[in-house]
């Protein structure tokens, strides 16, 4: 089954404690992205990747890092999380001519 | 700047009635336009897209959308609403007029279908 898998689904952490949210896709897609969803704002792109070792900033990249060492994986790293990064995060992947497929989401709370 | 507007926070419809969820966009170049639906505690599911061709596009679950270039709109429609259609709907446009990767989303419209 074609899917995008994120882990964990839920995470509560404390300010400043580094964390990683993993994302993996099994569709051999070139493009992968991270979005955050906040009420009234819709989804905003954090980072995206056009292929292995090729990444670029989205609209809200501050406080986040990504890496794309393998085609199927695109982890999101928060080096020093802050409460304003409390949000619902989605990973997405797409091919050259396909719509974006989204993961189930990761609800992050930073206290 | 590229942007998407969904002017209604919530749309209320009686089951069996037609529904419309509005979306307008601003993008340079030819837009790629999408509708996604989000059910509680779920990711976004793709409904339909407009890339080129016929202005009326049909998608999943009986939904369709009409691309109107002069009004820069891409409204989502369904002839007869179901209670199970109740969800959060997002309109999205591809930035820079092409590609499927960098999407700009509207704020979302919550659709409530009443029995």
Residue A98 CB partners (closer than 8 Å, separation 6+): A27, A29, B100
Q: What is the mean pLDDT of residues A83-105?
A: 92
Higher pLDDT, residue A41 or B99: A41
Q: What is the mean pLDDT of residues B42-58?
A: 91
Q: Is A104 on the interface with B (CB under 8 A)?
A: yes
> What are the tens digits of pLDDT across the range B65-98?
999 999 999 999 999 999 999 999 999 998 654 4
In chain A, whose CA is at the least distance from the CA of B103? Answer: A45
pLDDT of residue B43: 86
CA–CA dist B111, A110 (Å, integer): 30
Give the single-character DSSP code of B32: P
pLDDT over threshold 70, residue B101: no
Q: A66, A99, A104, A106: which to substitute to probe chain B, counting the most B Cβ within 10 Å?
A: A99
Query: What are the Cα distances from residue B26, in Å, to A31, B46, B57, B66?
Result: 23, 21, 20, 16
pLDDT over threshold 70, residue A91: yes
pLDDT of residue B97: 45
Is B43 in Cβ contact with A90 (below 8 Å)?
yes
pLDDT of residue B15: 98
Q: What is the mean pLDDT of residues A73-80?
A: 98
């Amino acid at each position: 089954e074609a899917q995008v898998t994120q882990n964990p689904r839920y995470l509560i952490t404390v300010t400043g404690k580094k964390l990683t949210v993993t994302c993996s896709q099994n569709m051999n897609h070139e493009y992968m992205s991270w979005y955050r969803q906040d009420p009234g704002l819709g989804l905003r792109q954090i980072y995206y990747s056009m292929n292995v070792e090729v990444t670029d900033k989205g609209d809200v990249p501050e406080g986040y890092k990504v890496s794309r060492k393998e085609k199927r994986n695109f982890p999101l790293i928060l080096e020093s999380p802050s409460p304003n990064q409390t949000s619902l995060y989605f990973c997405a992947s797409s091919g050259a001519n396909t719509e974006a497929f989204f993961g189930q989401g990761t609800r992050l709370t930073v206290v | 700047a590229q942007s998407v507007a969904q002017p209604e926070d919530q749309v209320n419809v009686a089951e069996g009635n037609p529904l419309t969820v509005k979306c307008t966009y601003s993008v340079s170049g030819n837009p790629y336009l999408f509708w996604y639906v989000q059910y509680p505690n779920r990711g976004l599911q793709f409904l339909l897209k407009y890339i080129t061709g016929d202005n009326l596009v049909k998608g999943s679950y009986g939904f369709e959308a009409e691309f109107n270039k002069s009004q820069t709109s891409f409204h989502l429609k369904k002839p007869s609403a179901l209670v199970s259609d109740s969800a959060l709907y997002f309109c999205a446009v591809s930035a820079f007029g092409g590609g499927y990767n960098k999407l700009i989303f509207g704020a979302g419209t919550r659709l409530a279908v009443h029995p």
